[in-house]
Amino acid sequence: MESFRHDELVPSRPKERLEMVRLVVAVGVTIGYGKTIVMDLMEEWKEVDFILISRSGTGLERLTQSMREKGFTRNITTHTIDLTDISSLEGALSTVYNGVSGEEYEGIYLFNISGTLDPIGLVSTTNNLQQIRQSMDLNITSFTYLSHHFLSHFTKNLEVTTAASRDTPKPISADAKIFMINISSLCGILPFQGFGAYCTGKAARDMFYRVIAEEARLLEPKVVTLNYAPGPMYTEMVEDAIRSDFAPIRDMYLEMKEKDSFVKPKDSVAKLRYILDAKKFESGSHIDIYDELSY
Amino acid sequence: MESFRHDELVPSRPKERLEMVRLVVAVGVTIGYGKTIVMDLMEEWKEVDFILISRSGTGLERLTQSMREKGFTRNITTHTIDLTDISSLEGALSTVYNGVSGEEYEGIYLFNISGTLDPIGLVSTTNNLQQIRQSMDLNITSFTYLSHHFLSHFTKNLEVTTAASRDTPKPISADAKIFMINISSLCGILPFQGFGAYCTGKAARDMFYRVIAEEARLLEPKVVTLNYAPGPMYTEMVEDAIRSDFAPIRDMYLEMKEKDSFVKPKDSVAKLRYILDAKKFESGSHIDIYDELSY
């Protein structure tokens, strides 16, 4: 992870803006990167209704207040749901889309932002089974169920009779109305010492969204998935990691802080939004903030 | 998945056999591929002690009996453990290595074979959260904890002070004494419709073993991991999948059965054993039974 020039990172905005009416469902929004995503989309996409989910009721209140203070007048619905609590998840999610019709919107987006780095440490010493399970519950199980729940509300199945080959073309983004965004990580495609649970969770999420991309040809309206690695950012998540006992990761982050080589959350969201607006990525792909785009 | 000639699949056995004294720990051994692995290693490696884990006590008894009937006289220890029951897993595993010293063995192997295909179906219709969680518990959480538990018994940490770069060479297999084998799948690297949970679990396992391969330079004795995709086999697991409601997967397997294009478990184990004996694979890599080997 090396330093970079911010002006190289985010392509200039496409000239023709589309003021689509959109619905954004976002999970893990009250701190860090999630909060930045919501505030950015509110300002840039404008005609957006939000369904915001977090385990922090206070955080959701504060976020809503910030949005209103910036003059945002469209709908904001908030739901206080703890995604680590699997036993209550079905009930908690069951009312989230009550009264919400996909037909009102030209674009519907699910942003899966919540996740945990814990437990950090070598696999050989990471001996807390409950902590391992909580990590898998939050980073994988909740994530997959949320995605199922979202799809089951906003899509219909076409008739499933034969196994479509993986070789047939993926749905083209330009047709798509529904976008599911997994906030992934470089850890989803490369292994890192001390990040056993985190890497495992991110790799799992990436694969799950690749499967949905395969299944999308059996759904309508068209669904597109994206695994976006937002880059290393100095958020609350990294502050927690710096407090961990595992020296290699603490030292890596402290060095990045010293060298000012973290990505600014605003820049990272700007690139993600550019990718979504351009609609030229292959569904199911993994795109890193450092990747050069040909569009 | 196309048909192949079995004689092309398994390279001929290396001429010099090493009659090492080995310990094999294997999980998920009473049916299907796991049973074949145990019976093969018993006959081919000979000087092996076994620690066998399964949820089926009866299955373990039958397996032990079969091994004794074939004249196998070395140690067989069995443990009836349900890997889907996370709340009892720590306690159940705590005594597994009692009295077992790694120093008695020239090679120590962990075979992670257990897993589930369920729930099968499109993500948009797979709405049973408890079934999703059971899949993640068995395919991922138990798998990671078993791996941790194995490492913590048989390895010591070297001092962890700085983050080793991913660019430094991986441990060379020839040095290794400890081998951890994840029974993976093509589904671990490619998405398949209807296999959302299964693909997700296999991708997670592959990444977890890539992380251990990165961490191995901080451990002694040397540890090597392998993600082995054994090929499609007509085992109990596939019989279950054929009974599922999801037509594309049922039809795919029925067609493979008709065309006789399944891999024979014995051939698949023979190739796995060849790879392990040759000790020339890169630690953490994913090797498919159909991959051509250069050794």
ipTM confidence: 0.91
Contact A203 B203 (CB under 8 A): yes
- The answer to whether residue A273 scores a pLDDT higher than 60 is yes
Average pLDDT score over residue span A127-137: 95
Which of A117, A122, A145 has the highest number of chain B CBs within 10 A, making it the mutation to test binding with B? Answer: A122
Q: What is the pLDDT of residue B98?
A: 95
Mean pLDDT of chain A: 90
- Of A8, A184, A92, A211, which is closest to residue B190 (Cα–Cα)? A211
Give, for B108, the enclosing helix (H) or strand (E).
strand B107-112
Give the pLDDT band (50/70/90) at residue B273: very high
β-pairing, B48-54 vs A107-112, is unpaired
Q: Output the six-digit token pair for B9.
A: 């699949």
- The answer to whether residue B145 scores a pLDDT higher than 90 is yes
Average pLDDT score over residue span A208-223: 94
Chain B residue with Cα closest to A153: B124
Q: What is the pLDDT of residue B1?
A: 38
Give the pLDDT band (50/70/90) at residue A126: confident
State percent of chain A over pLDDT 70: 88
Q: Which fold has domain A18-156+170-232+271-286?
A: Rossmann fold (3.40.50)
State percent of chain A over pLDDT 90: 79
Which of B87, B132, B193 has the highest number of chain A CBs within 10 A, making it the mutation to test binding with A? Answer: B193
Identity of the residue in A163, A202, A206 whose CB atom sits nearest the CB atom of B248: A163
Contact A123 B215 (CB under 8 A): yes
Contact B162 A193 (CB under 8 A): no
User: Omega into A119 within 30° of 0, i.e. cis?
Assistant: yes
- The answer to whether residue A158 scores a pLDDT higher than 90 is no
Identity of the residue in B89, B148, B284 whose CB atom sits nearest the CB atom of A126: B148
Q: Which fold has domain B19-94+102-158+170-288?
A: Rossmann fold (3.40.50)
Give the pLDDT band (50/70/90) at residue B60: very high
B125 CB within 8 Å of a chain A CB: yes
- The answer to whether residue A80 scores a pLDDT higher than 50 is yes
- The answer to whether residue A238 scores a pLDDT higher than 50 is yes
